Structure 1
Amino acid sequence: MEGEDAKTMNLRSELEKARAERGLWSEGDRIVAAVSGGPDSMALLHMLASLADEGKLSVVAAHVNHGFRIEESARELEVVTAYAEKLGVPCETALLDMPSYIEETRLNGQAASRERRYAFLHEVALRRGASAIALAHHADDQAETVLMRLIRGTGLTGLAGMLSKRREKNVELIRPMLRMKKSDILRYCREHGIPYCVDSSNEERYYFRNIIRLDILPYLSQHNPQLPQSLQRLAEVAGAEDDWMEKQTEALFAQLVTISPDECAVSCTGLSGLHVALQRRLIKLILSYLSQETENISFEQIETMRLAASPHAPTTWRTDAGARVRCLREYDVMRWLRLPRNELPEADDYEYEAGRDQASLTAEPSGWTFDFIREAAGLGRKPASRYEACFDASELAYPLIVRNRRPGDRIHVLGLNGSKKVQDMFVDEKIAPSERARYPLLFDAAGRLLWIPGIRRSSHALTGSRTEDVLFVRARNE
């Protein structure tokens, strides 16, 4: 018992030890303490106030009345403000009408309350110039969180539970009591005469966390009395390893991922060459880069995208990843696109005409420009690449037309008997599916496909010994 009392008396030194080990704050910082009125947050307020009395930091209490339990909430407000005044700590309060807000927004009650509560805490921190917001979660809370996530299904990140320090909106959210047991906190309150309130909703089995605390943890603890401590240690170990792996993934993101507006891309070879754990993490990091709504993306969805990059998977493929992101494989490239309206914008059909004397034409949806140069036979230049072509101008019907592919388009390929589908040409040349709908084709007014720039010329309007008038065409994709 004496050992327990000594440990309880040293909770404040444990708080300072946690601060030093985890860099929770620096001496002289201002901290906003989130105080609900329960024993945990009131003990935290007492500890921080004692440090403030010694000039080691300054503290501001912040209390939110959510408007759910009318009488209890009024009592909590009274207890918090009175005790903050006794400690000489400034106290800011907010009265929220959460029932009306939830009805208006249709949000989950707990999620809506957390959103409004944290918004108030951040507002106080900004106005008061605080560097951190202190939350009173303790070791028992951590054990409950880890067990909840285990039951619902989680990975290493979920096993890490609540972090002792996390940056949000330029303020650190800190949890300096994560290693303290609830029983020690209650004893600390008794020994220091700290008043607190008991939230009756903590006994309602409507909430899953309450079922964990009231039923599941006590039952499992019959088989391992140290289960809460074991879960808390698991969270610490998982947290450290998760942090290390996240840093490795961030380095790989910088090395392997090509970023452009609303898009991330990585080579399939590069992705599939990583350890499977890093493959999954890199995909999750890419999704988080493109969207703030990734919490509901499942393990199965991540795995589907990971396997799509393997050497044995189809070379063209796409899926909606969720969170307004679409994933595509285009040969050796995996692409993730942020969707503005839940759909990848499809290219509209386009068509541009070039008259006999026109020098150039830009097909804006494709980004390609065509230069038309008329030259006398025998004096003209020769094509230097597949992006240049020569035609017998006398065999062309004007105006020339630049447009994108339509269903059924075929080209009479030079050197081959018969015709071939443009779609098949795109596949053969490994033109990415996302580019095919915008890729420009050159026709004449008779509807003959003359040229797929960069790919193949047709057998129409070939130049020869009898050609007198040559049209030299150059295509540029800029």
Structure 2
Amino acid sequence: MKEIVKAFIRRHQMIESGSTVLVAVSGGPDSMALLHLLKTMQEEYDLTLKAISVDHQLRGQDSMDDYAYVKHICDEWGINFIGTSVDVSSYKSKYGTGTQVAARHLRYRFFKEQMLLTHADHLALGHHGDDQAETMLMNLTRASSSRALSGIPAVRPFAGGTIIRPLLTVSKEDIEAYCRAAHIEPRRDASNEETDYTRNDFRKRVIPVLKEKNPLLHIGVQHLSEALQADEAHLYTEAENAAEEMVSFSEMGDKAVFKIDRFKLYPIALQRRVYHLILKYLYNEVPDHLSYRHESIFFALLNSSKSNRTLDFPNQLMISKSYGEMSFYFRRHEEVREYEQQLDIPGDTVWADGSRFTAVVTDTPAEATPCRFVSPTAQLTLPLHIRTRRPGDKMSWRGLSGRKKIKDIFIDMKIPLHKRDAWPVIVDGGGRILWLTGLKKDEEGQNRDAEGPYIQIDYFEGDS
């Protein structure tokens, strides 16, 4: 087994000469075999080895005995030992997570701390080929992307170094045989025999059936995993490049927009990955209940002939299709209802969406533009206010017979639905709409032949 593992380490360039390696050790066969194997390679690779162990306090005295066993073996083998205890139960109560999620979070948090404190290059974990098969089969029952199906990576970045898994190329039986040959008497976790957890169910009921058909299952699965990961890495890079070219992300990290026609120019394989990149960018952590159904709904909307449609995704994420654009945004940021503030004259006023209005009083105003409003002060009822639209809002302008609803102006100007509720409207002290910012102006108050001074308002668009 040692030569197989060494070849795997070389192929994946896991360890460099002179490296500091933290080895996660629970006391079970996998981690004990890994620690022993790396100890036999210590002189050849000039390694600094440190064993790191975590007592999750989930199995009472057995858990404490596992921890003590690892410490004792490290003393016997002359390996530096780093250990801690974590309170999984309190973490579960505080954050409402399951036992396995809580234990993993606390364990990896400690690993990260020690990687940084010891300036370690690598964290070695004892996952083996059967673990890989279990993971890929489990993901097959609940995942919908090739990225999720590609399994456990042999090497991945972590805490300024890498996580390495040298045993992915060997089976559980290989590891048990190694322990017997090396006279290692590992600890046994009785909970691994239970089938309450999904992984244990696969381990006890599914993997044995498959290994009867193919005793070398772990080798074929690892080869498949590496092929899928290589393919996915290439496609992911292409998707990142595509997203950079066609997706506009807000500076606040809460919105993304792309032109539908441009998006559809890319192959469907990249479309799917760009969709997932957008979700990964917007969510701090992608919700577990976001599934292939959401992806199917998204692409159904994308490819339909209907416009002005909105999807509700988990955690208040909205996806809106409007006038050739697809917009991703969070409801809590976009829905600004009945908001109003006074416009500072002179001065700068920042609107709810991050846009800015700069107002000055001058005798020599600049020419009016779509983003600049100019009017004689005498023709305005002060103070001026900025507010959101309200039901029944109407305004008039030169050449228009009567008044027109703000809602209809938005439709005529093809303003996406998700932008309308936060669109800034400038009104005077009497409530008259002077300026639907960037779109229409009330012309009655813009007589440039009248005497000054003038109020000049410049609009600078925000992220929305």
Matched, 1:34 2:42: no
Counterpart CA distance in 1 for 2:268 and 2:33 is 44
What residue number does 2:248 align with? 258
Question: Which of 92, 95, 98 pairs up with 2:88?
Answer: 98
Contact 1:272–1:306 (Cα < 8 Å) also in 2: no
CA contact (8 A) 2:373 2:458 kept: no
Shift of 1:282: 1.4
| Partner residue, 2:357 | 368
In structure 2, the CA distance between the partners of 1:39 and 1:336, relative to structure 1 (3 Å rule), is: same
Q: CA deviation at 1:429?
A: 1.5
1:437 and 1:104 map into 2 onto residues whose CA distance is 37
Q: 1:210 to 1:400 in 2, by over 3 A?
A: closer
1:175 aligns with 2:170: no
Distance 1:309 1:75, change over 3 A: same
- Whether 1:184 and 2:174 are equivalent positions in the alignment is yes
- Equivalent position of 2:297 in the other structure: 304
The answer to whether the 8 A contact 1:388-1:473 is kept is no
Deviation at 1:116, TM superposition (A): 1.6
Q: Is the 8 A contact 1:327 1:337 kept in 2?
A: yes
The letter of the residue matching 1:19 is I
2:278 to 277, 282, 286: 286
2:66 pairs with one of 55, 71, 76: 76
Identify if the C-alpha distance between structure 1 residues 14 and 385 changes in structure 2 by more than 3 Å, giving closer, same or farther: same
Supply the distance in 2 between the matched residues of 1:164 and 1:196 (Cα, whole angstroms): 24
In structure 2, distance between residues paired with 1:193 and 1:312: 69
Kept in 1, the 8 Å contact 2:427–2:434? The answer is yes
> Structure 1: how far apart are the matches of 2:101 and 2:373?
63
Q: Does 1:411 align with 2:398?
A: no
Structure having the higher Rg = 1
| Residue 247 of structure 1, CA deviation | 1.8
Residues 90-145 of structure 1 show CA distances to partners (whole Å, capped at 9, x for unaligned) of 12222334345434554211111111222222233222221111000000010011
1:109 aligns with 2:109: no
1:477 aligns with 2:459: yes
Q: How many residues align?
A: 453
Q: Distance in 2 between matches of 1:76 and 1:388?
A: 72
Given that 1:32 and 1:132 are in contact with CA atoms closer than 8 Å, whether structure 2 keeps it comes out as yes
RMSD of equivalent CA atoms: 3.3
Identify if the C-alpha distance between structure 1 residues 25 and 345 changes in structure 2 by more than 3 Å, giving closer, same or farther: farther
* Structure-to-structure mapping, 1:211-290, within 5 angstroms: 211-221=201-211, 227-259=217-249, 260-268=251-259, 269-290=261-282
- Report the residue type matching 1:63 in the other structure: S
Q: Percent identity?
A: 28
- Structure 2 contact 128–168 (Cα < 8 Å) conserved: yes
Q: Could you tell me which residue of structure 2 aligns to residue 399 of structure 1?
A: 382
Does the CA contact (< 8 Å) of 1:133 and 1:174 recur in 2? yes
**Relative to structure 1, is the Cα distance of residues 291 and 397 closer, same or farther in structure 2, using a 3 angstrom cutoff?**
closer
> Displacement of 1:385 after TM fit?
4.1
Aligned residue identity for 1:16: K
**Under a length normalisation based on structure 2, what TM-score does the superposition of the two structures give?**
0.85
Distance 1:236 1:442, change over 3 A: closer
Please state how far the C-alpha of 1:195 moved relative to its aligned partner. 2.2
Q: Which amino acid aligns with 1:91?
A: F
SS of aligned partner of 2:46: coil
Contact 2:338 2:390 in 1 (8 A): no
1:33-52 matches, within 5 Å, as: 33-52=23-42
Q: Which amino acid aligns with 2:459?
A: N
What is the letter of the counterpart of residue 367 of structure 1? R
Secondary structure of 1:177's aligned partner = helix
Give the whole-Å Cα distance in 1 for the aligned partners of 2:23 and 2:356: 56
Residue 392 of structure 1, CA deviation:
8.4
- SS of 2:115's equivalent in the other structure is helix
Deviations 1:381-407 (A, max 9, x none): 9x664456777888x463363433222
The more displaced of 77-86 and 328-337 is 328-337
Give 1:294 deviation, angstroms.
0.5
**CA distance change for structure 1 residues 169 and 320 in 2, over 3 Å: closer, same or farther?**
farther
- Aligned twin of 2:128: 138
TM-score of the two chains, using structure 1 as the length reference: 0.83
The change in CA–CA distance for 1:85 and 1:323 in structure 2 (over 3 A counts) is farther
Segments of 5+ residues of structure 1 without an aligned counterpart are: 1-10
Unaligned runs of 5+ in 2: none
450 and 32 in structure 1: CA distance in 2 versus 1, 3 angstrom threshold: closer
2:376, 2:110 → 1: CA distance?
A: 74
